[in-house]
Amino acid sequence: MSNIGPQVKALFDQCLGYPEQQQMAFVAASDYPEAVKQKVLALLKHQNTDINISELILDAVKNKLVIEDLKAGDQFNEYELVKRIGQGGQGDVWLAKRVDGQFEQQVAIKILKPIYQQKEEQRFLAERALLAQLSHPNIAQLITGGMYSDDRHYMVLEWIDGTDVIAYTKQNKLSLKQRLRLFIQICEAVAYAHQNGIIHRDIKPSNVLVDNNAVAKLLDFGVAKSKNVNLTETQHDQMLTMAYASPEQLKGDKVSTISDVYSLGLLLYELLTNQPAHQINNSSPAQLIESVTTQMPMAPSERLANDEKKSLSTKIDKELDYLVLMALRKEPERRYQTVNDLKQDVINYLDHKPLMAGGDSWWYRSKKFLLRNPLATAMAILLLAAVLFLQISLVNFNRQLAVQRDQAVTAQTQAEHQAELANKTRDFLLNILEAASPLGTKGQDIKLQDVLAIGEKQIVHSLNNKPETKTELLKTFGSIQHNLGDYSAAYSYYESAYDLAKTHDFFEKAMMAQVKMALNAAWMSDYELARKNLNEGDKLLAKVNTFEQIAWYQIEKVTVVTEIGQREEGLALAKEVLAEVKQAGVTDPELMGRIHHELGICYIQYDNEQSHLHLSQALQLARQVFGDFHPKTYQRMLSTASALQRLERFEEADQLFINAQQIAERLFPEGHPSLGQFIAERAVHFHDRGAFMKALAMYQKALDMAAKKGKMSENYAIRLNNLGYLYEDLGRYEEAVNMYRESIEIRQHLLGEDSFSVASARSNLARVLAKLDYLKEAETLSHQFMPVYSAHERDNFYNEVTLWVIKIKQSMDDNCQQVVKDMQPFLQRLANQSNKSWRRLGAEFWLAQSFYQCHRYDLAKTLSQSVLSLNDTIYLFDSYGHKLIKDKTEVMLKHTN
């Protein structure tokens, strides 16, 4: 590049600060050489015309300034240009590759055009600064930036090897549910940008790519439009962008985050119909602006019905129509007010919940009419009101009197009945205590079991004339035995309560006894019996009229179906119960707490954030109803602490575990099942933080306590699995294999071959078999359980680690060259995982060891350095796990240098 170029650019930039009529005089009066002045005057001539500089003219100007075009092979620091993949108003976009030998990587580099105005430079730098603020899995990430040798700014961005979102849905023939879930990802990206004070303003299909892993990526600058991009911008391209603008953008009104809501509505419309909301094929810009600003598009369901090509078979109902059209309302104040509101309504639709959106209501249309004709309608309304008011008031007054009278009579009857039941129960308990007193036992000590035996005798041989009291007492004794951990005895008491209740047509009590029987059967690992009890309970639902009692039955049923491994059914039922209770206006904190707790448990396999949200609400309500020192509060503290741990909020989880321990020590005797649960959960916490030796002792104790209740239970299988995982982390692979195999056998017996629980345990077994070099068996197992993960909509990412390690070990002869090349996208995904995840730590450590074994010391070194950083973040510094990882990794690093 000659010295004249920078001078031309400097003088050209200075001219732009003056009005057009003064620019030539400014150039003439400057101290620059004549050759520079002539070139600047030529540029100003093109700058001040109403047409864009064509590529031909721009090339001629560049040639005169001796500015060379970029070409494949040019280097930007550690990156080398491969091919130009896009061109826009600000400059070019190139596909590039990393060539410094550190690791293989493809990126997209956006480069400011060689001749630019100051405002274009400012806009480019502002865009680069914006991207530097954003870090989200659904937004293309800025990697670095700088200035090229010809003083042009550039930015290096994540290369998205994908397809625009509409083309992706067509090519993969996505279902309606899959399209909506993809749209939710896009909403999350835009909402994240809004949270950081950024309005996108240009959301359209070409700015959303979907990669091979079905991950949507929002592109802020049109990066990676490369696959099918036309490098010449036409009027049709400009109109296409206009077709995705909001009405306020086209009218020049204030643009806000609600404008992005409108653009998302357009994108959703096209996702659902495969057709843009605004037809642009034969439109002029004026017609398009008129359409966008004044005309509502046809409802998606109608557009599909009129589609002669029948390009999409999906049926869209009215609710989804309302949702889309609410996002596309012309008035910003009538749209969804945030992207999160729009996203939540999509989620509500998928969950079959009521939507915020709805068609224009009768009231809205009436209000508009009144505002247009206030005087003409006021007298008519007043007259109608006067005629109706007296008649309506009289009818309502009489109806209220009747209702209040009936309610008073019912309330008095119920109160008398409950008082009688309470008195009979009190008298019965007093008799038991009297029989168990020193006088009744002749001064000898008496144990709780002896007291219960006395009570059982009195129940069996008395109260035959008080069947309702007897039923309640049988249920009470069943609850006591359940809390003592004797599920067989509890089942017997509830069974007796059911028989008595059914005989006397106490349908509510009979129904609740059945669900209690089902729960105790599940705790005895007799899942078939549990299902049978639920079927009997369901038959009684039609005979029960009390809404709250039905809600209690349904939410306790959720506990049972979750306990027997039917988490999807449990989640759906729990959501349904919560919606119905809210709609009915029920506010009972005990019932609401139980519903939130079951939702939190059901969400564990699907959404950790939602799980924590519901469990923390359940804990708050338990404290309100029962206080801190109560078994239910203690149980919910454990559940919430575990949820915090899954969210990698370890300090908060640790504090809640400590609080739970203080309560448990005061509530339960040594050996109680609830203490076993605490020990097991606490062991997981220590394991996740690297305190392996503490975890080992606690895992073993929890396993021994579970064994006392019987080894053929899911509880015992889970504790076996956890202990096996710790043996694996300690390098005791053979012991881990034995634990995993036994856990799988129990789960198969209880839950069936295709359950996710079995697949999860097989995943662990395959991983440790691969570490022992039993590669064929590990690979076969992986192909068995990975489809089960997919069927349950669970991520197979860390299962892929096992398959990659198998491939590495199978390709040692050629130093894993082809495998390393193939797994570059996976390594990039791994680098994007949470830096607080012990799963990522374990995966990177294993891969580093595998690369080291096949002599790929470069990759082993890179991963080992990452492992040391993750180790410091995840494991406690003074823990055995931290030292183990650190020592092994440093030895590996020493031999890679």
Q: 236 pLDDT exceeds 50?
A: no
Confidence (pLDDT) at 146: 85
Higher per-residue pLDDT: 10 or 573: 573
Q: 127 pLDDT exceeds 50?
A: yes
One-letter amino acid identity for 739?
Answer: M
CATH 1.10.510.10 is held by the domain 162-358:
yes
- Do 92 and 84 touch, CB atoms closer than 8 A? yes
Distance CA 510, CA 640 (A): 33
CATH fold for the domain made of 463-545? 1.25.40
Please state, as a whole number, how many other Cβ atoms lie within 10 Å of the Cβ of residue 172: 13
What is the percent of the chain with per-residue pLDDT over 90, rounded to a whole number? Answer: 28
Confidence (pLDDT) at 261: 94
DSSP helix/strand/coil, 104 = coil
- Under DSSP, the state recorded for 605 is G
Among 515-524, 661-670, 677-686, name the one with the lowest average pLDDT.
Answer: 661-670
Q: What is the average pLDDT across 722-738?
A: 94
Q: 485 pLDDT exceeds 70?
A: no
Q: What is the average pLDDT across 640-664?
A: 85
DSSP helix/strand/coil, 658 = helix
Distance CA 659, CA 669 (A): 17
pLDDT per position as a tens digit, 840-873: 999 999 999 999 998 899 999 999 999 999 999 8
Q: Which long-range contacts (CB under 8 A, 24 or more apart) does 668-675 make?
A: 671/705, 671/708, 672/485, 673/485, 673/705, 673/709, 674/631, 674/634, 674/635, 675/705
> Are the folds of 463-545 and 678-794 the same?
yes
Q: 413 pLDDT exceeds 60?
A: no
**Burial zone of 315 (CB within 10 Å; 0-12 exposed, 13-18 middle, 19+ buried):** exposed
Residue reference for tokens 């009747």: 402
Tokens of 892: 């590996």
φ and ψ at 95, to 5 degrees?
-80, 135
CATH fold for the domain made of 567-667? 1.25.40
Q: How far is CA 882 from CA 36, 724, 725, 864, in A?
A: 65, 19, 16, 14
pLDDT per position as a tens digit, 12-36: 767 766 666 677 878 887 888 888 7
Of 129, 262, 132, 253, which Cα lies nearest the Cα of 204? 262
Q: What is the average pLDDT across 732-737?
A: 94
Beta strand 208-211 with 216-218 is antiparallel
- Do 154 and 146 touch, CB atoms closer than 8 A? yes
Q: What is the average pLDDT across 797-811?
A: 92
Confidence (pLDDT) at 623: 87
Higher per-residue pLDDT: 773 or 397: 773
DSSP symbols for 263-312:
HHHHHHHHHHHSS-SS--TT--HHHHHHHHHH-PPPPHHHHHHT-TT---
Confidence (pLDDT) at 207: 87
Higher per-residue pLDDT: 131 or 560: 560
Q: 452 pLDDT exceeds 60?
A: no
pLDDT per position as a tens digit, 527-566: 889 899 999 999 998 898 888 889 999 999 999 998 887 8
Among 94-103, 373-382, 652-661, name the one with the lowest average pLDDT.
Answer: 373-382
Which range of 79-83, 128-132, 713-717 scores highest in mean pLDDT? It is 79-83
Q: Which long-range contacts (CB under 8 A, 24 or more apart) does 719-723 make?
A: 719/680, 720/746, 721/760, 721/761, 721/764, 722/680, 722/683, 722/684, 722/687, 723/696, 723/699
Q: 683 pLDDT exceeds 70?
A: yes
Distance CA 445, CA 438 (A): 7
CATH 3.40.47.10 is held by the domain 75-159:
no
Report the chain's terminal Cα–Cα distance, integer Å.
41
* Residues sharing a CB contact under 8 Å with residue 686, sequence separation 6 or more, in sequence order: 692, 694, 695, 698
- Do 853 and 809 touch, CB atoms closer than 8 A? yes
Distance CA 827, CA 822 (A): 10
Confidence (pLDDT) at 645: 83
Higher per-residue pLDDT: 5 or 360: 5
Confidence (pLDDT) at 227: 28
In terms of phi and psi (left: phi > 0; alpha: psi -120 to 50; beta: otherwise), the region of 255 is beta
pTM of the model: 0.44
Burial 342-360 (b: 16+ CB within 10 A, else e): bbbbbebbeeeeeeebeee
Tokens of 438: 């020193």
* Residues sharing a CB contact under 8 Å with residue 531, sequence separation 6 or more, in sequence order: 518, 564
pLDDT per position as a tens digit, 292-307: 878 888 889 888 887 6
Distance CA 117, CA 132 (A): 23
What rounded mean pLDDT belongs to the chain?
79
Helix axes 775-791, 797-810, angle to 10 degrees: 160
* Residues sharing a CB contact under 8 Å with residue 35, sequence separation 6 or more, in sequence order: 4
Tokens of 437: 């007193």
* Residues sharing a CB contact under 8 Å with residue 472, sequence separation 6 or more, in sequence order: 421, 425, 497, 509
One-letter amino acid identity for 389?
Answer: F
Domain ranges within the chain, ordered by starting residue? 4-65, 75-159, 162-358, 361-458, 463-545, 567-667, 678-794, 804-897
Cα-trace Rg, the chain: 35
pLDDT per position as a tens digit, 373-385: 554 445 544 544 4
Select 678-794's CATH number: 3.40.50.620, 3.40.309.10, 3.10.180.10, 1.25.40.10: 1.25.40.10
Higher per-residue pLDDT: 715 or 594: 594
